[in-house]
Amino acid sequence: MKRIAIMRPSGYLAGSVKLANSMGFDTITAPMIDVVDKTDANFKGFVERVMGGKSDYVIFTSANGVEFTLLKLDELDEFIEQLNKTQVVAIGPKTRTALQKNGIRVSIVPESFSSHGLVEQISGIEGAVIEIARSSHGAPELVDGLLKKGAVVHETQVYQLISPKDERHKKLIEKALAGEIDIFAFTSSMMARNFMALADEMGVKDELVRIMNEKTVAAIGKPTADTLSRFGIDVKVIPKHYTFEELLQECKKQDLE
């Protein structure tokens, strides 16, 4: 049974382990990132524009973005009512589900669950007012791409990713160095950076990269893969659709080949 390292935020670990086990993987876990609330200076304007009917599109790039947006609102029902008068965009199926569970109608889900796919999907937006509610570590590609298409873009950061302190971190690195991890699953660039920073602190970065390149490294999308590549890591698996489930499926498929 192949062992996979899962380093997702603590709130996702139990579900991720259950999914991996159901596919026949053994798991080792250590959250390399975690998610905390954030309210930036742009949030008030975002709410006012939506409530005032001045927003044409509202983009959510994660289920976390949906959750942390709605948690901040005093007039939740009124906001959702106004939100449903806009074109609500979800970057993927998990985000769509989070929106629909809260009574929010989703107009657009890109075929490719990524910032690039989202920009490609939305057309005829010159002069349109577009709101983006996402994390503090969102890639600039989304905003830049929409601006190039002539949209008026407002971004609010509704949560942030942090590097947690966890006793499992060192154990995971030690298991990796001992060759006891077969697959390394990375779901964000920040996760990759935190993982390598920890290896650097332990003085084992070069050795870890060597060992990882003898194993299977999976990245949930091209930005994460590019970050890993900059550390000299050979990424062998990138799923077509950027979901954790499909990442596991691709790892399983490679294992069977």
User: What pLDDT was estimated at residue 240?
Assistant: 86
Task: Decide: 23 and 252 in contact? Cβ < 8 Å.
Answer: yes
Q: Residues in the chain, how many?
A: 257
CATH 3.40.50.10090 assigned to 36-161: yes
User: What pLDDT was estimated at residue 257?
Assistant: 58
Task: List pLDDT tens digits, range 130-177.
Answer: 999 999 988 889 999 999 999 999 999 999 999 888 889 999 999 999
Domain residues of the chain, as ranges?
Answer: 3-33+164-256, 36-161
| Low-confidence spans in the chain with pLDDT less than 70 | 256-257
pTM above 0.85, yes or no: no
Distances (CA, A) of 202 to 28, 164, 184, 196, 214: 19, 16, 18, 10, 20
Q: Please choose, from the candidates 212, 145, 150, 147, the residue with its C-alpha nearest in 3D space to the C-alpha of residue 177.
A: 212
Give the Cα separation of 67 and 58 in Å (integer).
Answer: 14
Task: Decide: 187 and 152 in contact? Cβ < 8 Å.
Answer: no
Give the Cα separation of 132 and 143 in Å (integer).
Answer: 8
User: What pLDDT was estimated at residue 115?
Assistant: 86
Angle at the Cα of 181 from the Cα atoms of 176 and 184, rounded to 5 degrees? 90
CATH, domain range 3-33+164-256: 3.40.50.10090
DSSP letters, 160-180, are EEE----THHHHHHHHHHTT-
